[in-house]
């Protein structure tokens, strides 16, 4: 494994007068984040989730850090371990760090209420797949003020130049939302979004569950059940998670089981109506 390509990319960007920055997955790189925070000036970093409706998740959200030197020893750890999928590098015009942060703040949420999800732009795998999928014409609205990006793509380093860096509105139907995700990463993203949803909306019940069960294993089993039933829509997953948290001994009643010949949509509607009836919220 070599870090020659990112080093060469950094040198080229600096020769062109650009500044360098790290888009860091803070949740999985807390030690690195703290190290960077201790050595960066106040104007050299920003929390992407801060000052947004996701501010409660800022500690686990992505951070962006600017750095001045290609030989900066702080980034050696990242270059030497790209398989940790810690994030990616970008180059910017001087003074554009706040612009880059604002750009991604406007692109954090996928979907509309009640079917919302977080877009993990800071994941180099997500970035790499999007750039492989998007046309050259669609890249500027995706990369925004980033002049160029450098990222680990599974087995090698890649770099992509933005043909027209700048400030762009979010398209009504962003093409990067239509990029197919590999099954394993789709599962990981679904797990992360479910975990964050329960922390944000049902933290007391989720904390009580954690006294008896490993939350990660429990969530995986719930999502596996949803997949087995063909319940993929956000409202279906939300319903299953909430009711599972509220169920006695965290065990769903027998009427939740799928009946012979029942389609996923018929199954969901029956269980939904039955649950509403027993909870005094509807009629069978």
Q: Are residues 64 and 134 in the same domain?
A: yes
Q: Please identify, among 178, 202, 236, the residue that sits at the C-terminal boundary of a domain.
A: 178
pTM: 0.66
Residue 208 confidence (pLDDT) above 80: yes
Across residues 52-59, what is the average pLDDT? Answer: 91
Is 77 contained in some domain?
Answer: yes
- Among 36-40, 89-93, 280-284, whose mean pLDDT is lowest? 280-284
Burial of 124 (0-12, 13-18, 19+ CB in 10 A): buried
Domain-embedded: residue 12: yes
Residue 79 has pLDDT above 90, yes or no: yes
58 with 132, same domain: the answer is: yes
pLDDT score of 144 more than 90: yes
pLDDT at 15 over 70: yes
Residue 93 shares a structural domain with residue 144: yes
Confidence of residue 181 (pLDDT cuts 50, 70, 90): low
Spacing of C-alpha 281 from chain mean position: 34
In the predicted structure, residue 18 carries a pLDDT above the cut 50: yes
- CA-CA distance, 81 to 254, in Å (whole number)? 48
Instruction: Work out the mean pLDDT of the chain and round it to a whole number.
Output: 90
Question: Is 174 among the domain residues?
Answer: yes
pLDDT band at 165 (very low <50, low <70, confident <90, very high): very high
Q: Which two tokens stand for residue 233?
A: 């829509």
Domain boundary among 162, 178, 194: 178
Q: What pLDDT is attached to residue 2?
A: 53
Same-domain check for residues 202 and 85: no
**Which has the minimum average pLDDT: 1-5, 226-230, 247-251, 264-268?**
1-5
User: Does residue 94 lie within any of the structural domains?
Assistant: yes
Domain membership of residue 283 (yes or no) is no
Peptide bond into 114 cis (omega under 30): yes
Query: pLDDT-derived band of residue 9, with 50, 70 and 90 as boundaries?
Result: very high
The closest alpha carbon to 52, from 44, 42, 62, belongs to 62
Same domain, 108 and 209: no
Total domains in the fold of the chain: 2
Q: Are residues 150 and 206 in the same domain?
A: no
125 shares its domain with 145: yes
Q: Position of tokens 């400030």?
A: 167
44/49 Cα distance (integer angstroms):
16
- pLDDT higher than threshold 70 for residue 183: no
Are 149 and 191 part of one and the same domain? no
Res. 31 pLDDT band, cuts 50 70 90: very high
pLDDT value for 1: 41
Query: What is the band of 284 on the pLDDT scale with cuts at 50, 70, 90?
Result: very low
Instruction: Give the number of other CB atoms < 10 A from CB of residue 258.
Output: 16
Q: Among 124, 143, 178, which residue terminates a domain? A: 178
For residue 46, being part of any structural domain is answered with yes
Q: Are residues 24 and 129 in the same domain?
A: yes
One domain, residues 142 and 194:
no
Mean pLDDT of 241-250: 91
Structure tokens at 284: 């069978």
Stretch 95-108: mean pLDDT = 97
Whether residues 33 and 163 share a domain: the answer is: yes
Per-residue pLDDT, 279: 75
Give a yes or no: residue 284 inside a domain: no
The larger pLDDT score, comparing residue 95 to residue 281, is at 95
Domain enclosing residue 134, as ranges? 4-178
Q: Are 89 and 143 in contact (CB under 8 A)?
A: no
Q: 171 and 233 share a domain?
A: no
pLDDT at 184: 62
Inter-axis angle of helices 183-201 and 234-246, nearest 10: 50
Percent of residues, the chain, with pLDDT higher than 70: 93
């Amino acid at each position: 494994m070599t870090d020659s390509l990112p080093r060469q990319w950094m040198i080229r960007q600096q020769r062109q007068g650009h500044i360098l920055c790290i888009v860091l997955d803070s949740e999985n790189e807390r030690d690195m984040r703290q190290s960077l925070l201790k050595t960066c000036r106040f104007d050299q970093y920003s929390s992407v989730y801060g000052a947004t409706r996701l501010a409660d998740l800022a500690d686990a959200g992505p951070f962006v850090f600017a750095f001045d030197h290609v030989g900066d020893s702080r980034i050696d750890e990242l270059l030497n371990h790209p398989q940790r999928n810690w994030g990616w590098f970008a180059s910017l015009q001087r003074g554009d760090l706040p612009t880059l942060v604002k750009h991604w703040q406007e692109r954090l949420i996928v979907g509309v209420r009640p079917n919302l999800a977080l877009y993990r732009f800071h994941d180099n795998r997500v970035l790499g797949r999007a750039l492989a999928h998007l046309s050259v014409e669609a890249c500027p609205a995706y990369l925004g003020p980033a002049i160029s990006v450098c990222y680990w793509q599974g087995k090698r380093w890649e770099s992509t130049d933005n043909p027209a860096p700048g400030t762009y509105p979010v398209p009504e139907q962003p093409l990067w939302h239509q990029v197919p995700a590999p099954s394993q990463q789709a599962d990981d993203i679904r797990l992360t979004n479910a975990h964050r949803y329960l922390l944000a909306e049902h933290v007391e019940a989720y904390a009580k569950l954690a006294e008896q069960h490993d939350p990660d294993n429990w969530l995986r089993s719930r999502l596996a059940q949803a997949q087995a039933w063909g319940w993929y829509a956000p409202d279906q997953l939300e319903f299953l998670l909430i009711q599972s948290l509220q169920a006695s001994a965290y065990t769903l009643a027998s009427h939740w089981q799928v009946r012979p010949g029942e389609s996923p949509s018929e199954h969901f509607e029956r269980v939904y109506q039955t649950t509403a009836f027993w909870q005094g919220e509807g009629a069978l």
